[in-house]
Amino acid sequence: MVSRNRSQVKDHLGSKVLNHPELRNTKATEYMSHEEKYRYNLSRATAMLKLIDEEGMDVNEISKVMSHTVSGFTTPDGNPLAVHQVMFVPTLMNQADDDQVSRWLGDVFNGTIVGTYAQTELSHGTFVRGLRTTATYDPASRTFDLHTPDVSAAKWWPGGLGTTANHAVVMAQLYTDGQPRGIHPFMVAIRDRETHRPLPGITVGEIGPKLGQNTLNNGYLLFDHVKVPRENMLMRNARVNEDGSYTKPSHQKASYGTMVFTRVAIALDTVDALQIAATIAARYSIVRRQGEPRDDGQEPQIIDYQTQQLKVLPHIAACYVLRASTARLWEHHTHVTSEVRGGDTALLPELHATACCLKALVTQDCSEAIEALRLSCGGHGYMTASRLPALYAYATAGATYEGENTVLLLQTARYLVKQAGGSHAPPAAGSAVTYLSRPADDTPFAVGSPAAYVAAVGRVARGRVTEVAAALQADRQTMPEADAWNQSLVQLVAAALAHGRYFVVREFAEVVSQQSSSRAIQQMLQLLFSVYLAHAVSRAEGDFITYGGLTPSDIRLNRRHLLRLLAELRPHMIPLTDAFDLPDRLINSTLGAWDGDVYRRMFEQASHSPLNTDEVPASFHQAMLRSKL
Ligand SMILES: CC(C)(COP(=O)(O)OP(=O)(O)OC[C@H]1O[C@@H](n2cnc3c(N)ncnc32)[C@H](O)[C@@H]1OP(=O)(O)O)[C@@H](O)C(=O)NCCC(=O)NCCSC(=O)CCCCCCCCCCCCCCC(=O)O
Ligand SMILES: Cc1cc2nc3c(=O)[nH]c(=O)nc-3n(C[C@H](O)[C@H](O)[C@H](O)COP(=O)(O)OP(=O)(O)OC[C@H]3O[C@@H](n4cnc5c(N)ncnc54)[C@H](O)[C@@H]3O)c2cc1C
C-alpha cells in the first residue's frame, strides 16, 4: 500500500470513521457505569480495528490513525486496544525474529491474539533493571519458568491487561546457567483463546479508576511458575539456545526499543490534544462576551482582553511549532530504526536522548497549556462537556507513562554531559548536539529577529549543559558518582529541557525557511514563530539573562514585543485553529463547535443528566427525607 503522509491519513480515516456504521453514532458516556463505559469503548475500539484491517494499513499508518484526534472520538474514555496496537504489535514486529513473526502475526491480525506490554511492576516502573519478575531457563524441558516472587513484583498498569488481552509481552529478568542476563521480552499466553479464562498459574485483573483514560483497561498480573516454551522469548536481538547458552544483543538496550518508539508517538500525539484544546478555547474566547459595554454598546469579546490573549494565543503558536518538530522526530525515528534493523546502532544513543527529551518537553508543555486553556474558559471550562478536563487528563498521563518525565530528562542530560565532556563517541553529521563542541553563537540579541532569538535559545542550552557538566565533573573528584549526580539533578533536568527547546526552535526555523509555496503562509509561520520565541523568553527570563546574553533592558523590550505580537496574531486566531481541520464531532465540546452556539449546547447537555429525568428524583425521598434533615 502506498504510504500516506500524516494529514492524508487523518483526512482519509477521519471521514471513514465519522461515516462508519458502527462508529458514527456516539453516546454520552459521562453517566455510564465503569463496566458500561468499558463495553462501549471496547466495541468501538474493535470496530476501529476491523476498519484498519479492511483498509490494509501498515504498522506505521496504524500508529498515525491512533492519533488522539481520531481515537478521542472512537474511544473517548481510553482505548482498551491502544497498548495492543501501539506497543504489543510493534514489539513483535521489531523484537521477534522472522520465524516468530510468521508464527504469531497471522493470529494477531485476525484478532485471535490480543496483547499488551507488561513491564511495570507495583514496586518498579522507572528503574527497569530492578524489575523482579523472573524467567528462568530449564534446558531439560526447554522452557522458561515465569514467576512473580511476591506481590510487590506483580505487573501493574499494562493497558488492556485488565480484561481485554489474552497475551502479553512480559519484560522479565532472564536467568540462564544460573546467571542473570538482564531484562528480556517474552510472549506469554495469559487467557484461554476460547473461554478468555486466566490460564493455570496466572492471576490477572483490572487495577481500578484513575484521573482519566478509565477504559485503557490497565491491569495487574502475577505468575506462579508458569512454563513458557523457549521459542517464546523474542529473539531478534538476544538469544537463548536449546542448551541454555546465551547470545547477547548487538546493543545492550535493544530490548528497550519499543519504549523509544512509543515516546516518539506520544510526543507527536500529545500535540493533537493541544490542537483540540486550543481550538475550543479560541472559539469560546470569540463567542464569550463579558464586561463593561464598549462604544458599540456590546460587552467585549473576552479575547480582546490582553490577559486572555496571553492565555490563549501562545499555545496556538506552540501547536504549530511542536507539531513540526515532533513530525521531524517521527521521520528521524523511522530512519534510525531501519539502520538498527540492519545492525548499525550508531545513531541509537542520540535518538534515545532526543526521544526522551521531546516526550518530556511536549507532554509538560501541552499539559500546562491545556490547563491554561481550560482556565481561560472560566467556569464552563470546568465542565466535562467542554472536553477540556479529559484533554488535560490525557496529556498529563503522558508526563508519567512511557518514562516519568524527570527520569527521561535525566537520560537526555546523561547524554549531553557526556557529549560536553567529550567522553561519548563524537556526534554524527547533522547531530542535534554539535553546538556543544562549537564556540557559542554570538549573534547579538535583537527584539524582532527570530534568528537572534534562536541563537539566544542555543546559548541558554549550551550554557546550561556546560555549567552542569563542569559542576558534575568537580563533584566527582570529591564524592561518589551517585552523590555527585544527585547533587546536580535539578540543574541536569533544566539543561535537558533547554536542549529540547533548542531542538524544537531549530527544527521550526528550518521548516519556516523551507516553506516556499506562498509568501502569505511564510509570513504567518514567521509570526507564529516570533510569538513562540518571545513567549519562551518570557517564561525563562532568568535563564536568558544568565546564559542567553540578554540584558534586563532586552527582557523589558521582549515583554512589550510579545504583547504586540499577540495583538497582531489575534485577528488570525480563528483561521489558524480552523486550519487544524477538526470537524465538530471530533472536537466534541459544548464550547468549541464551529458555529459558536455555546449556550444552547450547554443546556442540551444538561438535559442528559439523570437527575433531571424526574422533577423530584427518587434519591431525594430515599436519602434526605429519611435522614430528617
Ligand atoms: C532508561 C531508564 C530510565 C534507565 O535504564 P538503565 O538503568 O537500564 O540504564 P542507565 O541509565 O544505566 O543507562 C545505560 C545506558 O543505556 C542507554 N539507554 C537507556 N535506555 C535506552 C534506550 N531505550 N535506547 C537506547 N539506549 C538506552 C543510556 O543512555 C545509557 O547509555 P550510556 O551508558 O552510553 O550513557 C530505564 O530504566 C527506563 O526506560 N525507564 C522508564 C520506564 C518506562 O518507560 N516504562 C514504560 C512502560 S510502558 C508504558 O508506560 C506504556 C504507556 C502507554 C500508554 C498508551 C499509549 C497511547 C499513546 C497513543 C499514541 C498514539 C500514537 C499516534 C501517533 C500520532 O499521533 O501520529
Ligand atoms: C495511564 C498509564 C498507563 C500505563 N500503561 C502502562 C503499560 O501499558 N505498560 C507498562 O508496563 N506500564 C504502564 N504504565 C506505567 C508507567 O510506565 C510508569 O508508571 C512510569 O514509567 C513511571 O514509573 P513509576 O510509576 O515507577 O514512577 P516512579 O519512578 O516511582 O516516580 C515517582 C517519583 O520518583 C522520581 N524518581 C524515580 N526515579 C528517579 C531517579 N532515578 N532520579 C530522579 N527522580 C526519580 C520521579 O521523578 C517521580 O517524581 C502506565 C502508567 C499510566 C499512568
Task: Count the residues in the chain.
Answer: 629
Tell me the whole-structure pTM to 2 decimals. Answer: 0.96
Q: How many angstroms does the Cα of residue 326 sit away from the middle of ligand 1?
A: 17
pLDDT mean for each 10 residues of the chain (629 residues):
46 77 93 98 95 78 78 96 94 94 94 97 97 98 98 98 98 97 97 98 98 98 98 96 94 85 95 98 98 95 98 98 95 90 87 97 98 98 98 98 98 96 74 92 95 98 97 97 98 98 97 88 96 98 98 98 98 97 94 97 95 91 70
Note whether 540 and 548 are within 8 A (CB).
no
ipTM comes to 0.98
| Residues 6 or more apart in contact with residue 404 via CB below 8 angstroms | 125, 126
What are the phi and psi torsion angles at 156 (to 5°)?
-145, 120
| Separation between Cα atoms, residue 353 and residue 419, nearest integer Å | 11
Alpha carbon 572 to its chain centroid, in Å, reads 28
| Residues 6 or more apart in contact with residue 595 via CB below 8 angstroms | none
Q: Measuring CA to CA, which residue among 581, 89, 539, 516 is closest to residue 323?
A: 581
Nearest CA to ligand 2 atom 29: 126
Q: How many angstroms does the Cα of residue 158 sit away from the middle of ligand 2?
A: 12
Nearest CA to ligand 2 atom 45: 407
DSSP letter (8 states) at residue 198: B
Provide the grid cell at 412. 537526555
Strand bridging mode 143-147 / 226-229:
antiparallel
Classified as helix, coil or strand, 413 is helix
Provide the grid cell at 436. 556543544
The catalytic residue among 121, 350, 371, 402 is 402
| Separation between Cα atoms, residue 288 and residue 342, nearest integer Å | 56
| Separation between Cα atoms, residue 473 and residue 195, nearest integer Å | 59
| Separation between Cα atoms, residue 400 and residue 211, nearest integer Å | 12
Pocket lined around ligand 1, Cβ cut-off 6 Å? 63-64, 66-67, 82-83, 86, 117, 119-120, 125-129, 159, 253, 256, 259-260, 262, 265-266, 268-269, 272, 348-349, 352, 401-403, 407, 411, 414-415
| Separation between Cα atoms, residue 113 and residue 523, nearest integer Å | 51
Helix H or strand E encompassing 393: helix 388-397
Q: How many angstroms does the Cα of residue 405 sit away from the middle of ligand 2?
A: 9
CB atoms within 10 A of CB 553: 9
| Separation between Cα atoms, residue 191 and residue 163, nearest integer Å | 10
Query: What are the CA-CA distances from residue 76 to residues 38, 510, 585 (Å)?
Result: 10, 36, 12
Provide the grid cell at 538. 518570557
Classified as helix, coil or strand, 445 is coil
Query: Which residues are paired to 189 by β-bridges?
Result: 167
Nearest CA to ligand 1 atom 51: 402
One-letter amino acid for residue 363 of the chain: T
Q: Is 443 left (phi over 0), alpha (psi -120 to 50) or beta?
A: beta
Nearest CA to ligand 2 atom 33: 404
In angstroms, how far apart are the furthest CA atoms of the chain?
A: 90
Provide the grid cell at 180. 542473570
Q: Measuring CA to CA, which residue among 48, 64, 18, 62 is closest to residue 587?
A: 18
Note whether 312 and 285 are within 8 A (CB).
yes
Ligand nearest to the CA of 415: 1
End-to-end CA distance of the chain: 68
